[in-house]
Amino acid sequence: MTLSDKLDLAIRNIPDFPKPGIQFKDITPILRDAKLCREITLALTAPFKGKNIDVVAGIESRGFLFGMLMAQELGCAFAVIRKKGKLPHRTVEIEYALEYGSAIIEMHEDEIESGQHVIIHDDLLATGGTAAAAAELIKKVGGRVEAFSFLIELDFLEGANKLSPFGAPIASLKHY
């Protein structure tokens, strides 16, 4: 069975969560299968082996799951991008627009050194607003966005268009 087939079986689709009309892609069943997690980690990191990546930056909270495993596999640092108010040390933040209102994400100001090569990872790319804000944040702290990495990309929401200004490739394991 291909990895794509395995992901089809393991990703649980929950209709109308958290609100009507959303098809929520639940990745928690994947986490029960250690061999599948290993296979996913290898597939996520394959494009970046030998590319001198310094940091994988994971987006709260599901971006932490495979983001940390990717960093381990690549032998590089892992940085957390969090919703405002969770990080204890000095932070840099960025505000971005949501469908209704806005949100703020932030990271510790010393987590990335100027000029470091960064991969941004999250479980899923939808409209791209979150990943675009993360990329702005990485740039603000002096990092270079080398790539975006996702388990799942929802093609019909065209998040890739929102990320194109950053000029970094998008690697997604599964497209719906």
Give me the residues that bind ligand AMP (CB under 6 A), please: 22-25, 59, 62, 122-131, 159
Are the C-beta atoms of residues 152 and 176 closer than 8 Å to each other?
yes
Q: Return the number of the residue (106 or 122) whose C-beta is nearest ligand AMP.
A: 122
- What is the smallest separation between the CB atom of 65 and ligand AMP, expressed in angstroms? 11
Tokens of 153: 């990309």
Are the C-beta atoms of residues 167 and 148 closer than 8 Å to each other?
no
- What is the smallest separation between the CB atom of 22 and ligand AMP, expressed in angstroms? 5
Catalytic residue among 62, 111, 146, 153: 62
**Is 62 assigned a catalytic role?**
yes
Judged by DSSP in three states, 57 sits in strand
Tokens of 169: 């490739």
Cα–Cα dist 88/90, whole Å: 7
Q: Judging by DSSP bridges, how do beta strands 170-175 and 144-153 pair with one another?
A: parallel
- What is the smallest separation between the CB atom of 113 and ligand AMP, expressed in angstroms? 25
Q: Return the number of the residue (46 or 97) whose C-beta is nearest ligand AMP.
A: 97
The DSSP element (H or E) to which 26 belongs, if any, is strand 23-26
**Is 90 assigned a catalytic role?**
no
Q: Return the number of the residue (52 or 161) whose C-beta is nearest ligand AMP.
A: 161
The candidate with the shortest Cα–Cα distance to 40, out of 175, 173, 154, 176, is 173
Q: Return the number of the residue (128 or 143) whose C-beta is nearest ligand AMP.
A: 128
Are the C-beta atoms of residues 15 and 44 closer than 8 Å to each other?
no
Catalytic residue among 38, 39, 93, 99: 99
- What is the smallest separation between the CB atom of 114 and ligand AMP, expressed in angstroms? 27
Write out the catalytic residue numbers.
62, 99
